[in-house]
Amino acid sequence: MKSAIFRFIAITLFSAVFLSGCRSTGSEFLGKWVNKANPNDSFQVVRNGDEFLIVSPSGKVGAIYKDGALEVKGALLSAELTYVRQTDTLLGPGFFGNVEYKRVK
């Protein structure tokens, strides 16, 4: 009986560790996002192989997952999108500070 319980606990722990390792990095950024202050400002984050693609009405730009954030590098400027787990929002750069985006469900 003790060996069955021990085996069950070992399998459960192994499964939890294995499944948490399989979660692909950056998946929290995927989806459609809209500016909380301006609903006309929206974009979608999709996978592009190992990288990400940010698609908006004005075009597409590539991004990479680096240090827990999405790093967008353009020809003239670079930006960083940060995911806030508590509020399920993204913070991005704006003219007067950060802009907050909420996920469209």
The DSSP secondary structure of 22-69, one letter per residue, reads HSPTTGGG-EEEEESS-TT-EEEEEEETTEEEEEETTEEEEEEEETTE
Decide if 65 contacts 50 (C-beta within 8 A).
no
Those residues with Cβ within 8 angstroms of residue 89's Cβ, 6 or more apart along the chain or in another chain: 36, 83, 100, 101, 102, 103
Average pLDDT, the chain: 82
| Amino acid in position 19 | L
Angle subtended at Cα 35 by Cα 29 and Cα 41, rounded to the nearest 5 degrees: 105
pLDDT above 70: residue 4: no
Residue 34 has pLDDT above 50, yes or no: yes
HSE of 97, CA atoms in CB hemisphere, 13 A:
2
For residue 73, what pLDDT is reported? 79
- Does 5 or 43 have the greater pLDDT score? 43
**Domain range list for the chain:** 26-103
12's enclosing H/E stretch is helix 2-22
Domain 26-103 falls under CATH 2.40.128: yes
- The owner of tokens 């692909």 is 24
pTM as predicted = 0.72
